[in-house]
Amino acid sequence: MLLRLLRDIKRFYETDLHEVIDAAKLPNLMAIAKEAAVPEIEKLVLLLLACSVQCEKKEIFVGRLMGLDSETQGVLMLLITQVRRRPLRSPCND
């Protein structure tokens, strides 16, 4: 399941955003599966969050995020801001 999820995230970046995720930002799926490695899980969640606010249905996801409590919204907004400010990816070489 994790491999398929990561493959779908990478495909979204490549086909919809025309970008490639920087290898340093990719989570280690073995560490997640074997050790539940929190830093690697955080990488995966950050990639999912980035996808949700950049996809064509982003209004739905942002609306759901806005339904969360204020503290959670604040944390997520900081993460979204970080995703948009720092490069998670580099352009594809088409």
**Are the beta carbons of 18 and 92 closer than 8 angstroms?**
yes
CATH classification code of 2-87? 1.10.418.10
Per-residue pLDDT, 54: 85
pLDDT category at 9 given cuts 50, 70, 90 is very high
**Encoding tokens for residue 18?**
């025309």
Per-residue pLDDT, 94: 45
Average pLDDT, the chain: 86
Q: Is 50 exceeded by the pLDDT of residue 75? A: yes
Task: Return the domain boundaries, the chain.
Answer: 2-87
pLDDT tens column, 35-57? 999 999 999 998 998 888 888 99
**Encoding tokens for residue 75?**
């944390």
SS3 at position 50: helix
Predicted TM-score (pTM) of the model is: 0.76
Q: What backbone torsions phi and psi does residue 18 show, to the nearest 5 degrees?
A: 55, 45
- Could you tell me the CA-to-CA distances from 40 to 51, 67, 68 in Å, in that order? 17, 27, 24
**Are the beta carbons of 40 and 28 closer than 8 angstroms?**
yes
Percent of residues, the chain, with pLDDT higher than 70:
87
